[in-house]
Structure 1
Amino acid sequence: MIQNPFARFLTGFVVAAAAAVLPVAAQQAASKPDFHQWAATPPMGWNSWDCYGPTVTEAEVKANADYMARNLKSSGWEYVVVDIRWYVGNDTAHGYNEKDPAWNIDAYGRFVPAPNRFPSAAGGQGFKPLADYLHVRGLKFGIHIMRGVPVVAVQRRLPILGSKATAADIYSKEGQAGWLRDMYTVVAGRPGAQEYYNSLFQLYASWGVDFVKVDDLSSPYHKPEVEMIRRAIDRSGRRIVLSTSPGETPVAEARHVAAHANMWRTVGDFWDSWEQLKEHFEVCNRWAPYIGVGAFPDADMLPLGRLGIRAERGDDRMTRFTRDEQYTLMSLWSIFRSPLMFGGDLPSNDAFTLSLLTNKDVLAVNQRSTHNRQLFREHNLIAWTADDPATGDKFLALFNAQDQELAPASEAAWASSIITRQTPGQSQPVDVDISGATTLYLNVRDGGDDIAWDHADWLRPTLSNGTQTVPLSTLPWKTATAGWGQVTAGKSVSGADLQVGGQRSDDGIGTHSNSMITYALPAGFTRFRATAGLDAAGAAQNTGGTLQFLVFTQNPFRPMPADSVRIPVTLAQLGLRGPCTVRDLWTGQTTSGVAGEFAPYVRRHGARLYRISTARK
C-alpha cells in the first residue's frame, strides 16, 4: 500500500516507473545508484554526540560497538557513528576549542582523524582500521562532517585532488555557520567545487564509511551543496547513507531533500527535555506525509541511558526523561518511522534502557509499518495509527501529553514582546510594580519557532522599595526549572559568561525556555527591575532563538491534571469492525473480543502502543 502522494513520488523515483513512456530517461535512471534502497527502512544505530560531544575516542567507539554487537545487533541495530570534530586533537567538552585547535588535515584539504584520539588512524590509515573493526562484527561505520571546505585549507591554499584549483578558489564566507567556524561555504559551479566533494567521498569510501551525517546543511537549506554531496556519493562507488542536519529542514524542500538524502532533520538538537519532546507531536504530524521508502524525516537522536559524560550540554547523568516519557519517546519515534540513533553510552545501559531498545514488536512498527499518521489530537490527548502491510493489522499509539498549564501572558504583571536577535539590543528593560506581592515568578516562554537555542538571561535583576535596592542574586530561589540545562546564577545556561547584545554582565541569571524561577519576596519591596534578553549563545545559532519574558506576582500555575486519563478510540476510526484482539506491544498483554470502542487509561506524559487484529476467518 502506497501511503501518500509523496510516497508515490519516492516510489517512482526508486523504481523508475516512467520507463514505459520514457525509455531513454529510464535507462539513465537505471544507471544511477539506487541510494534509497541502501536504507529502505529507518536506520538504527548509535551516535557519540549525546555522551561524548566532540571528544570521543577510539576506545570509547569500540566499547559501544562491542556492546551493540553483543546486545543489539540481533534486534536490527547496526550503525556506529563518530560525531563532530574527530579531526581535532585537542577539542574540549561542553563547547568547542576554537582558540588553538590541533587540526589534522591531509595535503588535499581533507580532514583526517586525530591519531591521539584514534590511534589506529596513524600512518595515514584514516578511519579504515576502525571501520574494519566494525565490519568484522557485522556493523556499519558512520562519521559526522561539516558542510563546506575547511577554513584552514583555504588559508593554506591547499590543492584539490582531481582539479587545478585550490581550496581558496572554491570558497565563500557567505553562509558560514555562526556556531562553529571550521568551514566556509563551497560555491557550486566554480572550477574545483564538485571535485572537492568528490575527493571527500572518494576518501571516505576508501576508509569503508557506510553513513555520513552532514551538519549545517538543512537549516538554512543549502541546496547547491546538497546536490554536490549527492553526486559525490554516487561517484564514490560505495553505498554511503546520507543524513542531513540539523533542522528544521524547510518543508518546502521536502521533495528535493528526499531525492538526495536518506534522512533529514525535522528539529534542532533534541535533548532529554519534556518540553522538546512535547513539541515533536506537532513536528511529526507536519512531516508524516513525507515518509517514504529510503527517505525519512529524522526526529533526531534518542537521548536515553547515560548522557553528558563529556557532552556539549549538561553533566554526566542518566536521562532526565521519566520512564513514562521514555515510553512516549520510543512509541512516537517508532510510529512516525524516524531513524533511531541512540545517544547514550551503551555499556552504561541499565536493564530498562536495554528493554526499550530490544522490543522487537515495537521496532517492527518503526521498520515495517505504512500509512503512518496522526489519527486525532484533542488538546493534549493524541492518537497515531499505522498499518501492517503484511497482515492488515492496525497499529495504534496513544499519548497523554497533558501538563500543568500556565496562565496566559495577559494575566502577567509584565510581559515582553517577542525578543529575537533582530530586536534592538536583543533585549527589553523590565520594570514591574510588585507592591503587596509575596512571591515573584520569572517565566520565559518559547516565541513559537522551531529553534531550540532559546538561551535567555535575566540581567541585573533588582528589588527596590524607593530607598533601598537589593540585587535579586543575593536571595536564593525557591524553585527553578529550565527547558534545557539548569538555571544558573552568574552564568548563562551553557556555563558561559552572561552576554546580551554584545554586553557582558556579572550579575544575572541564565536560563532556557520554557522556564520558571520562583522567589519568596521579602516584605516591603515595590518594584522589580532587570534587563530581559536573548543570550549570545542563542543569538549565534543559525537563525537564533525566539523568546518571551513574563513576570507574575500571582501563582500562574493551573491545577495539575489527573495522573491518568482514558483516551477513547472507536474501531470505526481505524477502519475496523469487531470483535478484535488488542495486544499491548510494551507489556505483551492481549485482550480479545474488543468491539465498538477501545478506551485504555494512559498516564500523564506516558504512552501505550498496540497491535489491533480482526478475527481471522
Structure 2
Amino acid sequence: MRSSIFFLSIFILAFFTSCQPKKTIKTFNKDEFKSWAQTPPMGWNSWDCYGPTVEEHEVKANADYMAEKLKAYGWEYIVVDIRWFVENDKAGGYNQTDPHYVIDEYGRYQPAVNRFPSAKDGKGFKELANYIHNKGLKFGIHIMRGIPKVAVENKLPIKGTDGITADQVYSTEMQCKWLKDNYTITANKPGAQEYYNSIFELYAEWGVDFIKIDDLSRPYHQGEIELIRKAIDQCGRPIVLSTSPGETPIEAGKHVQKHANMWRMVDDVWDTWPHITHLMDICQKWYPYIASGTWPDCDMIPLGRISIRGERGNDRMTRLSKDEQYTLITLFSIFKSPLMFGGDLPSNDEFTLSLLTNKEVLEMHRDGINVHQLFQKDGKLAITSKNSITGDIYLALFNISDSPVEVAVELNKIGADSNCKVIDLWTGEEISTTSDTFGRELAAHACGLFKLRQ
C-alpha cells in the first residue's frame, strides 16, 4: 500500500510539473554570488526551537513577528530547517526506522503537506515563499547534501539527462553518519551535476533566497560544494549558500570562501557557557577570512525560547545568564558572523528583543571592518574593529574566567588616545577617559562593548 501511495504521489507531481511554462533562465558569473550577501545575513531559523518538526503556521508566526519588530533593524531571512519533506518526524531524535518521505518523479524532496498545507497540488514552498516575500522578507530552506536513498532504491530518473537514474550517481562512501536519508553524490559521474541543477531549478521556482546545506563541512566535501555552487549560479535566482555544520577545516578556508557565502566554524552552538568559550577559541583561526559576501559563521543564536520541540533538552527559555547572553551577542556582532536567531520569535521577552534591536550594535555588525583579536589569555579576550563610514573604533572586552577581573587595553594599540570619547553600546552611557589605557572590571562571563571616537 505504501508503495502504491509513493508512486501515485510521483504521478500527480509529474502532471503538475509538466504543466509549468518554460522560461529563460539567467546565469551568474563565478564571483557574482558574493554580491548577494555584502553584509552578514540576518534572520531566523527553525532548528533551535522546532528541530525537524516545524509547521507552516509556526513559520508564518515567526515571519509576522520579524516583519513587525525586526525588519526595520535589518533582519530579513526566514529559514525552514531540516527534514521538511518527512511527514512523521519527531523531536528528540530522528525517526529513521520508517520515515514517510515526500518526493517527486525526479527524486527531489517536496514539502510534507500535513505540515505545510500550502504545498498541496505540487506547489512546493511557492505559496509560503510568497507569503514571506509579501512581508518584505526572504525565504530559506535546509537540505542535506547528496541524493535521496529512496530515489536510488526506486531508480528515479534525473531531470536534464538522457536516461540517467539516481542509482547511477550515488556512493555509500562518506554517507552522513547521523542522518541516513541521502547517499553521497559522486561528483565526477555523469548526471551528478544535473541532479544538483534539477533541485536548484526547483528551489528557484519556489522562490528560495537562502539555502543551508548540511553535512558538507566535516569532512569537507569539495566536489559536492563545487557542484552546488555551479548549480546555484545557473538556476536563475540569487540564492545565498550556507555550508554546515562545522568544524570547517581551516585548510579549506580559501576554497569555501570561493564557493559559499557563509560556512560553519563549529558544530551546533547551544545555551551553555562551554559552547561560547569553544567558539571564541575557534574564531581565532578565521579572522582573516571575514570579507564582504563570504562570512565565517558562528552558528545560530540559542536565545529566547528554544527546544519547544527541539533536539537538546526540554522547552525552555535559554539557560544562559543575562551576562552570558550579552557576551554571545557581542561576540557574534563584532566578529561579523551571520546572525540567525534560533528561538521562537513570538515568545520573546523584552530583554531578548532588546538584544536584537540595538541600532549601534547592528551598525557595528554591518559597517565594521578590520576585525581582529587583540589578545586572548588569562581568561581575558579583546576584539576590535573600525566603522568603515565614520572611522569610529569598536572595542569588545570579555571576561572568560569564572571570577571578576579587569580587562584593559592600551589605547594606542587600537588607534586611539586618552582624549577619545567612549560610549558603552549596550547602555548608551558616555565614559570619560584620562589614561592611555581603557578597561573595565567585568563579572565572570561578562563583557563590555564600546565605541571610541577621537
Q: TM-score range by the shorter chain?
A: over 0.9
1:197-217 Cα offsets, whole Å, 9 max, x none, are: 000000000000000000000
Give 1:596 deviation, angstroms: 1.2
2:384 match: 385
CA distance in 1, matches of 2:369, 2:293: 13
Contact 1:58–1:118 (CA<8 Å) still a contact in 2? yes
Q: 2:67 aligns with which of 33, 45, 69?
A: 69
1:317 match: 316
Matched, 1:172 2:12: no
Specify the SS of the correspondent of 1:104: coil
Give 1:188 deviation, angstroms: 1.0
Matched, 1:333 2:332: yes
1:289 match: 288
Specify the SS of the correspondent of 1:599: strand
Q: 2:444 aligns with which of 594, 600, 604?
A: 604
Give 1:368 deviation, angstroms: 1.2
Give 1:133 deviation, angstroms: 0.2
Contact 1:375–1:384 (CA<8 Å) still a contact in 2? yes
Contact 2:28–2:234 (CA<8 Å) still a contact in 1? no
Contact 1:582–1:594 (CA<8 Å) still a contact in 2? no
Q: How does 1:486-497 map to 2 (within 5 A)?
A: none
Give 1:565 deviation, angstroms: 2.2
Give 1:30 deviation, angstroms: 8.5
1:266 match: 265
2:22 match: none
1:407-436 Cα offsets, whole Å, 9 max, x none, are: xxxxxxxxxxxxxxxxxxxxxxxxxxxxxx
Matched, 1:56 2:35: no
Give 1:302 deviation, angstroms: 0.2
Q: How does 1:243-282 map to 2 (within 5 A)?
A: 243-282=242-281
1:557-576 Cα offsets, whole Å, 9 max, x none, are: xxxx3xx3221222112122
Specify the SS of the correspondent of 1:177: coil
- Provide the TM-score with structure 1 as the length reference: 0.68
CA distance in 1, matches of 2:54, 2:433: 52
Amino acid in the other structure paired with 1:238? R
Give 1:593 deviation, angstroms: 4.7
Q: How does 1:40-55 map to 2 (within 5 A)?
A: 40-55=38-53
Amino acid in the other structure paired with 1:391? T
Q: How does 1:110-121 map to 2 (within 5 A)?
A: 110-121=108-119
1:18 match: none
CA distance in 2, matches of 1:306, 1:115: 26
Amino acid in the other structure paired with 2:387? D
Matched, 1:147 2:138: no
Amino acid in the other structure paired with 2:408? P
Matched, 1:134 2:122: no
CA distance in 2, matches of 1:31, 1:216: 26
Contact 1:337–1:366 (CA<8 Å) still a contact in 2? yes
1:69-88 Cα offsets, whole Å, 9 max, x none, are: 00000000000000000000
| TM-aligned CA distance change 1:594 to 1:112, over 3 Å | farther
Specify the SS of the correspondent of 1:133: helix
Specify the SS of the correspondent of 1:77: coil
Amino acid in the other structure paired with 1:88? V
CA distance in 2, matches of 1:364, 1:244: 26
1:221 match: 220
Contact 1:221–1:250 (CA<8 Å) still a contact in 2? yes
Contact 1:581–1:594 (CA<8 Å) still a contact in 2? no
CA distance in 1, matches of 2:370, 2:94: 42
| TM-aligned CA distance change 1:361 to 1:125, over 3 Å | same
Amino acid in the other structure paired with 1:199? S
Give 1:280 deviation, angstroms: 1.3
Q: How does 1:187-226 map to 2 (within 5 A)?
A: 187-226=186-225
Contact 1:580–1:595 (CA<8 Å) still a contact in 2? no
CA distance in 2, matches of 1:312, 1:288: 30
CA distance in 1, matches of 2:30, 2:326: 40
2:351 match: 352
Q: How does 1:512-551 map to 2 (within 5 A)?
A: none
Amino acid in the other structure paired with 2:365? N
CA distance in 1, matches of 2:236, 2:338: 24
**C-alpha RMSD of the superposition:** 1.2
1:551-608 Cα offsets, whole Å, 9 max, x none, are: xxxxxxxxxx3xx322122211212223010000000001245441212121210111
Contact 2:416–2:452 (CA<8 Å) still a contact in 1? no
1:308-335 Cα offsets, whole Å, 9 max, x none, are: 1000111000000000000000000011
Paired residue total: 427
Q: 2:412 aligns with which of 557, 572, 576?
A: 572
CA distance in 2, matches of 1:295, 1:197: 22
CA distance in 2, matches of 1:32, 1:150: 28
Specify the SS of the correspondent of 2:228: helix
Specify the SS of the correspondent of 1:73: helix
2:90 match: 92
CA distance in 1, matches of 2:48, 2:152: 31
Contact 2:425–2:449 (CA<8 Å) still a contact in 1? yes
Contact 1:52–1:310 (CA<8 Å) still a contact in 2? yes
1:104 match: 102
* Higher-strand-fraction structure: 1
CA distance in 2, matches of 1:317, 1:395: 33
2:3 match: none
Q: 2:33 aligns with which of 18, 35, 60?
A: 35
| TM-aligned CA distance change 1:205 to 1:67, over 3 Å | same
Following TM superposition, where does structure 1 have runs of at least 4 consecutive aligned residues deviating by more than 6 angstroms? none
Specify the SS of the correspondent of 1:600: strand
CA distance in 2, matches of 1:257, 1:172: 23
CA distance in 2, matches of 1:593, 1:180: 55
Amino acid in the other structure paired with 1:47? N
Contact 1:33–1:234 (CA<8 Å) still a contact in 2? no
CA distance in 2, matches of 1:375, 1:322: 26
Amino acid in the other structure paired with 2:373? Q
2:5 match: none
1:160 match: 158
Q: How does 1:378-417 map to 2 (within 5 A)?
A: 378-403=377-402
1:500 match: none
Contact 1:173–1:184 (CA<8 Å) still a contact in 2? yes
Give 1:389 deviation, angstroms: 1.6
- Provide the TM-score with structure 2 as the length reference: 0.93
What are the ranges of 5 or more consecutive residues in structure 1 without an aligned counterpart?
Answer: 1-28, 404-560
Contact 1:376–1:382 (CA<8 Å) still a contact in 2? yes
| TM-aligned CA distance change 1:32 to 1:281, over 3 Å | closer
CA distance in 2, matches of 1:159, 1:56: 30
CA distance in 2, matches of 1:303, 1:139: 21
CA distance in 2, matches of 1:220, 1:360: 38
Amino acid in the other structure paired with 2:269? F
1:437 match: none
Q: How does 1:416-495 map to 2 (within 5 A)?
A: none
CA distance in 2, matches of 1:370, 1:219: 29
Q: Which range moved further: 93-102 or 340-349?
A: 93-102
Contact 1:571–1:578 (CA<8 Å) still a contact in 2? yes
CA distance in 2, matches of 1:363, 1:169: 48
2:14 match: none
CA distance in 1, matches of 2:291, 2:31: 17
1:123-160 Cα offsets, whole Å, 9 max, x none, are: 00000000000000000000000000000000000000
1:589 match: 429
Specify the SS of the correspondent of 2:451: strand
